Amino acid sequence: MDKVLLCSDDEKLFGITNRIAEEKYELIWCTYHRLEMNRYPLADVVIMHFDRERTKKGIFEPIIRIKGKLGHSIPILAIIEGGNCTGYFFGVGNRCIRLYRNDG
């Protein structure tokens, strides 16, 4: 089972993402405090949620921190508050996994 690391301070977002992932992927929640302390597990895919406050602090440092520990080839999806989504697909190994699609 592929491991998906969700970096977010929003517990509600974790619940929604967990329902989307269902039993297809192992979703692991990591707050930004744990990320700053380098206390997060290895994963196959990373989703990073940036709310307005987090965006003001900067989005590059957390991404660089993840890349530094998990490697430069780790796929990262950045969800930025105020943006929209049409579909999220990640390459993991030689497969592509689908997490979410919004056709509306």
Q: What is the pLDDT of residues 48-103, one digit of tens each?
A: 988 888 888 887 888 888 888 888 888 888 887 765 544 444 444 444 445 544 44
Under CATH, domain 2-101 is a member of which superfamily? Response regulator (3.40.50.2300)
- Would you place residue 9 in the very low, low, confident or very high pLDDT band (cuts 50, 70, 90)? very high
Domain definitions of the chain by residue range: 2-101
Q: What is the pLDDT of residue 83?
A: 57
> Mean pLDDT, to the nearest integer, of 14-20?
90
> Mean pLDDT, to the nearest integer, of 14-25?
89
This prediction's pTM? 0.75
Q: Are 55 and 30 in contact (CB under 8 A)?
A: no
Q: Are 83 and 38 in contact (CB under 8 A)?
A: no
Q: What's the Cα-to-Cα distance from 29 to each of 6, 93, 95, 102, rounded to whole Å? A: 5, 22, 23, 22
Helix-strand-coil split of the chain, %, nearest 5: 30, 35, 35
Q: Are 28 and 43 in contact (CB under 8 A)?
A: yes
Q: What is the pLDDT of residue 84?
A: 52
